[in-house]
Amino acid sequence: MNEVQEIPARATIGAGEGVAECWMDLDGARMRYLRAGSGPALILLHGLLGYSFSWRYVMQALASYATVYAPDLLGAGFSDRPRGIDHSMRGTARRVLRFIENLGLTSFDLLGTSRGGAVAMAAAAECLGSERSGAQNAGPRLRRLVLVCPVNPYSRHGRWIAPFFGTRLGAALFRAGMGITRMQFMFPYWHGRLYADKSRIPPGTLEGYKAPLAIPGLFEHALSIVRTWTADLEELEALLPTLSAIPMLLMWGSKDPAVYFSSMQPLARNFANVQSVVFPGIGHLPYEECPEEFNQALIQFLTC
């Protein structure tokens, strides 16, 4: 295990008591992650332009049932933003698995939201591929997979918006319109659109999400992700049948404006051992918009 530092969690991230801020050397860069609780390992993967702050309510609620790890993936949050690394879905998934191996885990549950959900599925496919090949030192075993409003091939909305910003024109418009000052100004609007009911945005949420925006390299990180978006969706669609046997929980807000709720059923058909939880009237961030209901459903799945 290559953990190089551990200090109490920063007040600015809103993580709460019992959560430790840790750092790991990974691929020549420093990755930040939060850790809480004890018991079976649960890894939480954030979405695009999110970071471990997304899980501030989940970590405290799950700490009695699991050892919860929430990384800031390289390029995001307070982790390093190294240039030139592979931010494709598969490249990110392989880094997640190296992170898990460095933690010294033998088995784990994996939860991913939004783009982190696509990464979680790719990581699951990598795990299963190693097991099926009979390779020695196959690595930690994946027990269960939880997907929260995951990016997937069946949501029309994501098939053109993200890829557009991966083009030269889209990237130029993104850079022109989303400088640091403008991003700080516009962020409340864009973030608020992810909620079905803006009155449910928890206090301190905007400040928490805006905290890493001024660190250089965040926008380049986001652009590198959307450049491979179309290829990633095609690859994801091809690997979905290999995940059929994994115990799976799908969690979705019925009014998700980012990854359409209508894509839940086509996605679920790929899995033989799947449970579904729908949060009526909730948007893209159920772990923030209805955290008590979200945590209750998650705990029930992980402890049954």
Contact 248, 276 (CB under 8 A): no
| Residues 99-102: contacts with CB under 8 Å, at least 24 apart | 99/24, 99/26, 99/31, 99/33, 99/71, 100/41, 100/43, 100/139, 100/140, 101/139, 101/140, 102/1, 102/2, 102/3, 102/24, 102/26
Q: What does the radius of gyration of the chain's CA atoms come to, in whole angstroms?
A: 18
DSSP line for 99-115: HHHHTT-SEEEEEEETH
Digits of tens for pLDDT over the chain (304 positions)?
A: 444 444 444 444 556 788 999 999 999 999 999 999 999 999 999 999 899 999 999 999 999 999 999 999 999 999 999 988 999 999 999 999 999 999 999 999 999 999 999 999 999 999 998 766 555 566 899 999 999 999 999 997 655 555 544 455 444 445 544 444 445 545 677 788 999 999 999 999 988 998 998 888 877 888 888 889 989 999 999 999 999 999 999 999 999 999 999 999 999 999 999 999 999 999 999 999 999 999 999 999 999 8
Alpha carbon 289 to its chain's center:
16
- pLDDT number for residue 5: 43
Q: According to the model, what pLDDT value does residue 8 have?
A: 41
Strand ranges (DSSP E) for 149-198? none
Handedness of CA 93, 109, 38, 275 (dihedral sign): positive
The structural domain count of the chain equals 1
Residue 67 CA to residue 277 CA, distance in Å, equals: 23
pLDDT value of residue 189:
73
State how far Cα 222 lies from the chain centre.
Answer: 14
Which tokens belong to 49? 């332009």
Predicted local confidence at residue 186, as pLDDT = 56
The sheet that has 3-8: what strands, in order across it? Answer: 3-8, 19-26, 29-37, 67-71, 41-45, 107-113, 141-148, 248-253, 274-279
Q: How many CB atoms lie within 10 A of CB 187?
A: 16
The residue segments making up the domain with residue 172 are: 3-303
- Give the residue from 233, 197, 235, 186 showing the smallest Cα distance to 49: 186
Tokens of 169: 């024109």
The predicted structure's pLDDT at residue 10: 47
First CA to last CA across the chain, in angstroms? 30
Tokens representing 241 are 């049948």
Contacts 24+ apart (CB under 8 A), 191-195: 193/257, 194/257, 194/258, 194/283, 194/284, 194/285, 195/283, 195/284, 195/285, 195/288, 195/289
Give the per-residue pLDDT at 170: 47
Burial class from Cβ neighbours inside 10 Å (0-12, 13-18, 19+) for residue 251 reads buried
Q: In Å, how far are 86, 141, 169, 230, 262 from 163, measured between CA atoms?
A: 17, 33, 11, 6, 21
Q: What is the CATH number of the domain that holds 157?
A: 3.40.50.1820
* Residue 58 · residue 44 · CB < 8 Å: yes
Q: Please identify which residue in the block is written with the tokens 């549950």.
A: 109
Phi, psi of 151 (to 5 degrees): -55, 135
